[in-house]
Chains A and B, each alone.
Chain A
Amino acid sequence: MAFRLKLVPDNTQFNFFRYQWLTFGISAAAMVLSLVAVLVMGLNFGIDFKGGTTIRTESTTDFQVGDYRQALDDLGLADVSITEVFDPSFGTDKHVAMIRIGTQDETGSVTPEELNGIEAALKVVDPQVAFTAVESVGPKVSGELIMTAVYAVGAATIAIMFYIWLRFEWQFALGAVVSIAHDVLLTIGIFAVLQLKFDLSTIAALLTTLGYSVNDTVVVFDRLRENLIKSKTEPLIDVMNRTVNETLSRTVMTAVTTALALGAMMIFGGDVIRGFVFAMLWGVFVGAYSTVYVAKNIVLWLGVKRDWSKPDPKDKIDEIPAAFREGP
């Protein structure tokens, strides 16, 4: 027998509903906690959403963040924060810092004179320093970008809900939407808890997560529908359990391949993209969880019609392609 790596054994018989109140409770608690984290700790908005300027500096010599801060103190800039950036790919002669400066005036950008001032001040404490990226966003645009982001997540949710409603039943659509809300909220929550930079690319990651999670959910729904057609009398809860067990291997398999790919990107992709990849990676885990423990529970509670007026797929059981039909 050839070797096959199987993270999920054949014919699992897990009862995914045994602890359904616990798992659902965890989901609900996590959602509430995320909301609280966002409200209490707030999101660490990037300049896309808050306006202001970020400067990425690079130096061949090691530096102290305190020295940089001191150098900039005299310039009278509002709301300056400096963080050192670490990345395994940086050699010993590469030291990167991110300097963030709040909105200075109505246009939001640091003027070229101020920029020159900053560079000159930093050169005093660190002669090797160079600016590798400077980005400014005005408050006018940042306000619009927030609204666009909210619209984007809303529009995607509604469009997906509509599609699932078309393809399945309204109970499924609702189940998918609740699991989307779960995933989105938990992703925003982790950004609040870890105070990661929340910017436009995070929204893109959120939308991707949303697509991925629904993708996962839909595969289970699709199987559920098929099983519901086959067995019209078995209790819904049993059909669901069987469905999740049948698709479990695929759910795990795809989560692992996606996590492998994103994990590689997270480790080797550089610090610029790390936040973005982290959001997607987190979304993959949360999405897999919500597929198993959130979406179908909603459908179970809402109940679903059992008589799917579609031809039984068993009708075509003997169709074997001509090329492979064995001789008489």
Chain B
Amino acid sequence: MLDIPFWKRLLILGLVVLGLLFAMPNLFYKRVELHNDAITAAERNGFESTEQAEARAGWPDWLPSGLVNLGLDLRGGAHLLGEVHVEDVYKARMDGLWPELRDALAAQRDTVGAIRRVTAPEGELAVEIGNPDQMARAVEIARGLSTPVASLTGAGQSDLAISASGNRLQVALSDAEKAAADERTVQQSLEIIRRRIDEVGTREPTIMRQGEDRILIQVPGIGSAEELKELIGTTAKLTFNPVVGRTTDAHARPGTGNVLLPSMDEKDVYYVIEASPVVTGEDLTDARPSFDQNGEPSVDFRFGPSGAKRFGAYTSANISQPFAIVLDDQVISAPVIRQAITTGSGQISGSMNIEESTRLAVLLRAGALPAEMTFLEERTIGPELGQDSIDAGRLSSIIATAAVVAYMIASYGLFGVFASVAVIANVILILSVMSMIGATLTLPGIAGIVLTVGTAVDANVIIYERIREELRAGKRVVKAIDDGFSEAMSAIIDANVTSFISAMVMFFLGSGPVKGFAVTLTIGIATSVFTAIFLTRMMIVLWLEWRKPKQLIL
């Protein structure tokens, strides 16, 4: 165990130096953070202001600039766990389907007889027809309104489940469509929330899906959960406006009654549009990704009755003119009207792939949250409390490390110094790994690091105690150290695997701060094995080679 080839020594040393390098930015947290913020801001805006240039110069570009993310409990901010009521969408879809079904059935009034919508459970559409014996025909008509489900798992299935009993025709979304619709609803909610929060431009918000229908939102630096809720709750403004012209001049004069708006996707392109919209997002009842007659990805959208009327009148008067789809004062796209759209439903097609069509459909509906959201968890942590926690965490880490170092040196002398170097290297490595992978440090995470300081020496203790025993058994120094390392190895491995198992369980089942703790612990286990087995061993070997001791007091 004591033969360490030169390249291995270099590797061990190199890893420690690398760790030091990557952990260093955290010492200058504020400065590096400003530096990073300036870079992102400059990238977003396409130019760099003098303050940004100054902030960027505060930290050399060639040094690593990854930082440990501070969790909400350390930085302060708001945390929300929302549940999306996916069923809301079923009802809206059925309400939107009713006029269409009514018109289709009314066209066949001679066969199916008089029709009447009757009350049905939420998310279902029930119609009574005058001639129950012609139900087969009615079902056929209803079936004609269905479209294939546009999702991978539900491909080839119809989006409507149609059943009939007596004179009652019942329409609901099929299970495959419900699943696809739920997915879309949650995705849309996520997209809307992300857009809402990005608009405010806070640093590193976390917006992620949890489970089937939940969304976790964490925004550092925001005043309160209430504020965050208001921000999410505000509806986006979606409008369809006539296009007057297209320009690349950001200072073009739009003229009276017109406005100049930037394009969302094309850089340096601006549209002059009429300020008063033809229809607005409130008229839109649905937008879904689909395929046009050529099999190209497109987006189907549908207006409610009044929107349909206005849109129909406008499109029939303006064939081959472009109209703009405007979201929050940005032009999403400006397609050309190919034909009058009187049915209230239309299709946006153009050069896009499935991803883009899905995204556009999401954006089209992103005006308002597609379904209501209730909040299951709300947390607000003030920045002062976070700063107190950081200070307390820092102080206790330093004291803990000092106490462990003192105790180790008192117990093992020089070898205790080696172990102490390893412990400190371990803390540095934990920080550097967390900075590299952008892991989040929470208050329990700090406790995890402190705990690791205590347990990281365990591997060294196992080895040293073993060496003591071997020395007592009368072995020579080198032999005792060699045996100490090799005999201790299996205990070290077993002990760390069991710790690793419980850390993994915490990671997969835990949430928020507990997860942060599990991440720190897992990294700590890996780095402590490295420092105890490789780094300490190398230090001992170097010492042996240098002093060639005949006897050792441990």
Contacts and interface: CB of A to CB of B under 8 A. Distances in A.
Interface of A: 1-6, 10-11, 56, 58, 89, 107-109, 112, 115, 130-138, 140-141, 145, 148, 151-152, 155-156, 159-160, 163-164, 167, 200-201, 203-204, 207-208, 210-212, 214-216, 218-219, 221-223, 226, 246-247, 249-250, 253-254, 256-265, 267-270, 272-273, 276-277, 280, 313, 319-324
7 contacts: A135-B381, A155-B509, A163-B497, A214-B498, A254-B454, A260-B454, A261-B400
Interface range for B: 35 or more
A10 B389 CA distance: 42
Given A152-B505, A254-B461, A257-B457, A132 B385 contact: yes
A219 B553 contact: no
B462 interface: yes
A254 B1 CA distance: 24
B499 interface: yes
Interface string B479-492: 10010000100110
Contacts of A136: 225, 377-379
Contacts of B479: 320
Given A4-B411, A201-B444, A254 B458 contact: yes
Contacts of A324: 2, 478, 482, 544
A254 B452 CA distance: 11
A269 B391 CA distance: 8
A155 B513 CA distance: 20
A163 B385 contact: no
Interface in B435-464: 443-444, 446-448, 450-451, 453-455, 457-458, 461-462
A141 B497 CA distance: 32
A276 B447 contact: yes
A44 to B, nearest CB: 19
Nearest to A258: B454
A222 B393 contact: no
A56 B381 CA distance: 9
Contact of B499 (A134, A215, A254, A270): A215
Nearest to A89: B392
B538 interface: no
Contacts of A246: 469
Contacts of A1: 553
Given A133-B379, A219-B491, A258-B454, A211 B503 contact: yes
Contact of A264 (B225, B400, B554): B400
Contact of B408 (A257, A269, A273): A257
A321 B482 contact: yes
B252 interface: no
B501 interface: yes
Which of A138, A261, A267, A313 is the most central at the interface, judged by chain B CB atoms within 10 Å of its CB? Answer: A261
B517 interface: yes
- List the 4 closest A-B pairs by CB distance, nearest first: A261-B454, A211-B502, A270-B392, A258-B454
Given A212-B455, A261-B454, A269 B503 contact: no
A215 B399 CA distance: 25
Given A4-B553, A320-B478, A323-B3, A203 B514 contact: yes
A58 B407 CA distance: 38
Given A219-B491, A262-B450, 11 more contacts: A4-B554, A107-B374, A131-B380, A132-B384, A133-B385, A138-B375, A204-B518, A208-B521, A211-B501, A253-B465, A260-B407
